[in-house]
Amino acid sequence: MPYDSSQQNIGHSVGAKIRAARLARKYTQSHLAQPDFSVSYISAIERGQIHPSLRALEILANRLGLTSADFLPDASSNNSHAEATINEAVRNTADIEIQFLEAQIAIWQGGTQSAIAQLRKLASRDLTVRQEIQLHYLLGWAYSSASQFPEGENALSEALQLIKDPNDHMGLQILNLLGNVYAAMHNYAQGLQTHRQSLDMLENMQPLNPFLMAQVYTNMGLHYTYLNKFQQAIEMFQRALALTEAVSHPDQLQSLYLHLFQYYKEIEDYQQAQLYGYKLMQVSSQEYSQSLKSGVYYYLGQAMLRDDRQSALAYLKKTLAEVEAMQDQLVLAIVTGQYAQWLFENGQLAEAQEQAEKALVLVSPYEDTIMKAEALMTLGKIAYAQKAFEIGDGHFVAALHILEQLNALEELADGSAMYAQILEEHGNMNEAFIYMKQAFAARRRMQVYSLD
């Protein structure tokens, strides 16, 4: 049979319109397919690989709130009507989603009554099942935040009744909030039972959501506390703490959010995918901001140390007090390490060692950094000054290895040259020669990069 490009174009047009309408209704391919079709059949239609029969088109159109004529491209009027209908559906969906978001913001900011009023107005709109679930969930949240617990319980129970999939993530969020509502009503046994149900669902779902699981464990711990079952409460709190510690580093958070984003995108739960996509970007942005800020503190401190000792001391003491109040661990590690350098250069070895060790502990949760290498080199110099040569060698070698791995060539050259000089002063000429060569090689690499 000869290749018919017009038929293929029609297939792509129909498939694209079905996909657009499905997304506008927030349906997954599975939701649209069942019970008459398979997911692979819907997927093939949307990609233009097969043409649906007129009967199939009628069924799909009916589920999407349209007519089969809306998808047929054989007449310009039909095309215009279909496009207008789909565009209107998209606009309505966007408007509803924005109103949901506004209601959430109002709840966070304490405007629960305005959120409730806004959500009640939305109840009169033509909503999808998914939007109905979201509406009742937000109403339950708003009512419970306003201490209207019976109304909150009713709204959340209605949301649960609309959920048919036992593994629906929204069901988990609703159950978790409902358990808190029971606790607020002093019904701790019912709250504990509800959170146990949440935990059972979480343990059987992939991927694991450690944040929600930590919340559930914490809430169960509170129920056990109120029920005077303290050993069980302690166990729940310890489990929650272990989960939060496992994702405390920005790199771990990024990896988790990316995994959750990809998972929800694959199952076409675009609302959750968007949520974790935004979280991923937020963590990335915060990490960049933290990196920028810590870099500024590092280079400012180095400049102060090289300029004037008394000015540097005043700056370091003032900055240490400020960053301790800010509770910024990475910046505190940087300034503490620089304070250790100042103390060493001014002959205060014991206090310098204490501050350098403190800086090393503060920076340890992070990946290898120049700051960690600097703290190790300060400890190396202190060890040599105390004639603990083997300990000093260990610190210097570890520091220079970090700088090599980071490709921090200027710091590597300076550090290697300094270590070579210390080795030479202590009569270890062979080792000094090796590290002088390393410093020279690092300088040569810097020149090559500058020429590139």
The mean pLDDT value for 434-448 works out to 85
Give tens-digit pLDDT for 356-385: 999 999 988 877 788 899 999 999 999 999
Identify which has the larger pLDDT, 451 or 192. Answer: 192
Per-residue pLDDT band for 76 (boundaries 50, 70, 90) equals very low
The token pair at 130 is: 């998914």
- The percent of residues above 90 in pLDDT, for the chain, comes to 28
Distance from C-alpha of 398 to C-alpha of 420, rounded to nearest angstrom: 15
pLDDT at 12 over 90: no
Range with the lowest mean pLDDT among 31-40, 88-97, 289-298, 366-375?
Answer: 289-298
Q: Which residue shows structure tokens 């190790």?
A: 376
pTM of the model: 0.52
Q: Which of 90-99, 118-127, 391-400 has the lowest mean pLDDT?
A: 90-99
Contacts of 198 (CB under 8 A, 6+ apart): 172, 175, 176, 179, 216
Write down the CATH number for the domain with range 99-249.
1.25.40.10
Q: Mean of the pLDDT values across residues 174-185?
A: 91
Give the separation between CA 110 and CA 32, rounded to whole angstroms: 38
pLDDT of residue 4: 43
- CA nearest 394: which of 384, 404, 408? 384
pLDDT of 404-421, one tens digit each?
A: 988 888 889 999 999 999
Residue 117 has pLDDT above 50, yes or no: yes
Q: Is 5 helix (H, G, I), strand (E, B) or coil?
A: helix
pLDDT at 8 over 70: no
Name the more confident of 185 and 306: 185
CATH number for the domain whose boundaries are 5-74? 1.10.260.40
Domain-by-domain residue ranges, the chain?
5-74, 99-249
- For residue 357, what pLDDT is reported? 94
Q: CB of 210 within 8 A of CB of 256?
A: yes
Average pLDDT of the chain, as a whole number: 81
Omega before residue 210 within 30° of 0, cis? no
86 pLDDT higher than 60: no
pLDDT score for 202:
83
Count of CB atoms situated within 10 Å of the CB of 241: 14
**pLDDT for res 45:** 83
Residue type, 408: A
pLDDT digits (tens, 9 = 90+) for 186-229: 898 999 999 999 888 888 777 677 878 888 888 888 888 888 88
